Chains A and B, each alone.
Chain A
Amino acid sequence: MSLLEVKGLKKHFPIKTGVLKRTTGHVYAVDGIDFTVEKGETLGLVGESGCGKSTTGRAVLRLIPPTAGTIMFEGVDVMAASRSQMQALRRDMQVIFQDPYASLNPRMRVRDIVGESLKIHNIGTQAERKKRVFELLETVGLSTEHAERYPHEFSGGQRQRIGIARALALNPKLIICDEPVSALDVSIRAQVINLLEDLQDEFDLTYLFIAHDLSVVKHTSDRVAVMYLGKIVEISDSAVLYSRPQHPYTEALLSAVPIPDPTAERARRRIILEGDVPSPANPPSGCVFHPRCPRAQEICTTAMPALASTGGDAGKRHEVACYFPARFTGEVRTVSDTPFEAALPGSDD
């Protein structure tokens, strides 16, 4: 059984206008996505701003109610969970936020921030909780004397460590990392990435790692799901995705990331996409990527292709939602010129 199983997840935010606040449309932030996260792995969720990756993370935690879909955590339906069940679930699912400045209450001392969840869940006596907070601070590379200080006394990297200590307090099984290193400088970012990796080994954690930086996602994740305009367009083992991307959006995204190596840079061919990402309030018909896609054909304008497997072992399958995915035979890359049958809508039902 997968630790987390998400099926048909949708989140549509209503757009309300006028004095009467009538709903005049919807922002299709997340529009029907399926994925699973296995115990002990890191699933990277990558995409550009507005693709719905953070909304997905929040919906999984039930911080915002999804419009449709099911979320199963260890076989328990998160959406149907009662209040008390939910409280138990929240111990197992924690989150680390992007902005280390906004996610810590400036009026609380570090010991209260880190120990708050222990208090809410009535764990231990006051002395035990204090000991646990000290332990957590040391685990994330801070010292016990930091416990009495306020967030403003820390730098960005140290604050992110406080946020990590807070997430660890209840011994969670799954941590949703929502852009945990985006606000940090290069040298500090590497410290935090290494810390997250060490903690995963030490506490047997599972991560849903949400980020826009592909190099970071590639480095931290076992599998990667690429999102575009509320849909997952490709999902696969991270090494395979980076060496053999099949979806044209993944290809363009990968080619756009600069590599810190001048020789490698000179040898690369960059695929530059035309235009901007369309508004999620008014997504294009058919495949959401077709207006910017270099391979788009007529069929692409009719319906969104289904996410279909193109091989690989169970649990490590390479899935792509495209009628014309790139195919690899040996080292040679070709683009299938006949529509990819498995991606035809309806073929997966």
Chain B
Amino acid sequence: MGERLLTVDGLSTHFFTHAGVVKAVNGVSFTLDRNETLGIVGESGSGKTVAALSLMRLVPDPPGKLVEGSLMLGERDLRQLSDAEMRQVRGNDIAMIFQDPMTSLNPVVKVGKQIAEAITLHQDKSKSEAWTMATELLRRVGIPDADKRVSQYPFEFSGGMRQRAMIAMAISCNPDILIADEPTTALDVTIQAQIIEVIEEMQQQYDSGVILITHDLGVVAEIADKVMVMYGGRTVEYGGIDEIFYNPHHPYTWGLLGSLPRLDEAEKTRLTPIKGQPPDLIALPAGCPFVGRCLYERPECRDGWPALEIVGPAHGVNCWIPETERRDIRAALPHFQAYVR
């Protein structure tokens, strides 16, 4: 792996609402290297999007507030930057692709102009130079007839092409870090395959680090190098891609893997879902957010958040169950057999 691009330590972002404090992200830490893809996995409300928005300092304040933690982009502390400096960071150093390409593009501005705008804001280019670059970028992300498409409006693009245009905009200033927030969730599978290919190509071409936020463990298995599993605003487990799939240590990770129907399963096996509902982020339990749904709960789980336990190289888990016991429980899980190699 290449140079360290990003170090996030103990990040907490809370929303102060009338109904109470929503603890969307609670003490999350991770790093990202050049040429590396980090997958952040979790269900709705697990805090994965807020974690990414906090990195970009795009959490609306009020009600949101980055209450704790440090965000180091190389040597720079992102929390210390002024708003103007932060605007330079966005686009130049970190760029983001959002889930819904229709609502993130301006419907009344030509696609080319939207891309050119990002270029002229960050680079010393004339309008016509920026326009030429926009055409070139569209061609690079695989849009046919880029010369024509550049002067069209977003409604004339299909969903997949809009997402390609978003990628073109994100890479226009050659950022070190590309954050993709559910980039393929709104797309059909054949288009999803195209978009993932474009993201991988762009990563290789620009040597960037990619943070991929998704609920789809299949997409993660396809392109991530390492994975962070989030639940109720906390990181419950992180590790290399093989570690998470073949040597998972947290009961929530087991639950996620057991909930997935697999396309390549030879015969039909019954899914093992996680019981219950996700927690209310306003009334999070004092201890582990997974209590109540965890099948292996013990008294200490309710009282406090367990310390990070290192279970392998670059593989950590936060769980009260002792490691030896975890291995025994896991060995007995029916669905886990599919993952044992």
Chain A interfacial positions (CB closer than 8 Å to B): 48-49, 155, 157-158, 185-191, 193-194, 197, 212, 214-216, 218-220, 239, 242, 252-265, 270, 272-273, 275-277
Residue contact A261 to B245, C-beta cutoff 8 Å: yes
- Report the separation of the CA atoms of residues A48 and B190 in the bound assembly, to the nearest whole angstrom: 8
Chain B neighbourhood of A255, CB < 8 A = 193
B18 interfacial by beta-carbon distance below 8 Å: no
State the CA gap A201–B173 with chains docked (Å).
Answer: 57
Q: A282 to chain B: closest CB distance in Å?
A: 14
User: Whole-angstrom distance between the alpha carbons of A41 and B311 in the complex?
Assistant: 46
B residues bordering A, Cβ < 8 Å? Answer: 43-44, 144, 158, 160-161, 188-194, 197, 215-222, 241-242, 245-246, 255-268, 270-275, 277-278, 338-339, 341
In the complex, what distance in Å separates the CA atom of A242 from the CA atom of B267? 11
CA distance A154 to B277 in the complex (A): 10
Q: Which residue of A lies closest to B142 (CB)?
A: A274
Complex interface: chain B residues within 8 A of A260 (CB): 217-218, 220-221, 245, 257, 260, 262
Q: Which residue of B lies closest to A155 (CB)?
A: B277
CB distance from A197 to the nearest CB of B (A): 8
Query: From B260, which residue of chain A is reached at the shortest CB distance?
Result: A260
Q: Contacts A218-B263, A256-B189, A272-B193 hold; do A262 and B273 have CB atoms under 8 A apart?
A: no
Complex Cα distance A186/B252, Å? 12
A216, chain B: closest CB distance, angstroms: 6
Q: Which of B194, B219, B261 contacts A272 (CB 8 A)?
A: B194
Q: Tell me if A261 and B190 are in contact (CB < 8 A).
A: no
Cα of A254 to Cα of B216 in the assembled complex, Å: 16
Query: Are A259 and B218 within 8 A (Cβ)?
Result: yes
Check A262 against B221 for contact (C-beta < 8 Å): yes
Given known A-B contacts A190-B272, A214-B189, A273-B190, A242 and B241 have beta carbons under 8 A apart: no
Chain B positions within 8 Å of A186 at CB level: 43, 215, 217, 256, 259-260
Q: Are A261 and B193 in contact (CB-based, < 8 A)? A: no
In the bound complex, residues from chain A placing their C-beta under 8 Å from that of B219 are 258
* Majority SS at the chain A contact face: helix
B273 and A257 contact, CB distance less than 8 A: no
| A194 and B161 contacting across the interface, CB-CB below 8 Å | no
Chain A residues near B217: list those with CB within 8 A.
Answer: 186, 260
In whole angstroms, what is the CA distance A187 to B261 when docked? 11
Q: Which residue in chain B gives the minimum CB-CB distance to A258?
A: B218
Chain B residues with Cβ below 8 Å from A263 are 242, 246, 341
Contact between B260 and A256 (Cβ–Cβ < 8 Å)?
no
The reply to whether B278 and A261 form a contact with Cβ atoms under 8 Å apart is: no
A residues less than 8 Å from B270 (CB atoms): 194, 197
Contact of B261 with A185 in the complex, beta carbons under 8 Å: no
Can you list 14 A-B contacts with CB-CB less than 8 angstroms, sorted by A residue number? A48-B191, A190-B260, A191-B275, A220-B261, A242-B264, A255-B193, A257-B218, A258-B216, A260-B220, A261-B221, A261-B338, A262-B241, A265-B221, A276-B191
Closest Cβ–Cβ distance, residue B295 to chain A (whole Å): 12
Residues of B contacting A262 with CB < 8 Å? 221, 241-242, 245
Residues in A neighbouring B220, C-beta threshold 8 A:
260
The distance in angstroms between the C-alpha atoms of A220 and B268, with both chains bound, is: 9
Flag if B255 contacts A264 (CB, 8 Å). no
Q: Are A48 and B188 in contact (CB under 8 A)?
A: yes
Distance in Å: Cβ of B1 to nearest Cβ of chain A: 17
Pairwise interchain contact A276-B44, C-beta atoms closer than 8 A: no
Q: Which residues of B contact A218 (CB under 8 A)?
A: 261, 263, 265
Question: Whole-angstrom distance between the alpha carbons of A315 and B161 in the complex?
Answer: 41
Contact residue among B189, B241, B272 (Cβ-Cβ distance under 8 Å from A212): B189
Across-interface contacts of B245 in A (CB, < 8 A): 260-262
Tell me which residues across on chain A come within 8 A of B241, comparing CB atoms: 262
Q: Give CA–CA (A275, B159) in the complex, Å.
A: 11
Q: Are A191 and B273 in contact (CB under 8 A)?
A: yes
Pair B277/A157 contact, Cβ less than 8 Å: yes
Q: How far is the CB of A154 from chain B (nearest CB, A)?
A: 9
In the complex, the answer to whether B263 meets A254 with C-beta atoms within 8 Å is yes
In the complex, the answer to whether B221 meets A259 with C-beta atoms within 8 Å is yes
List chain A residues, Cβ under 8 A from B341.
263
- B149 smallest CB distance to A (angstroms): 13
Given contacts A185-B44, A186-B260, A261-B262, contact A253 B215 (CB under 8 A): no
> Given A187-B43, A258-B219 in contact, is the A215-B262 Cβ separation under 8 Å?
yes
Residue of A nearest to B244 (CB): A262
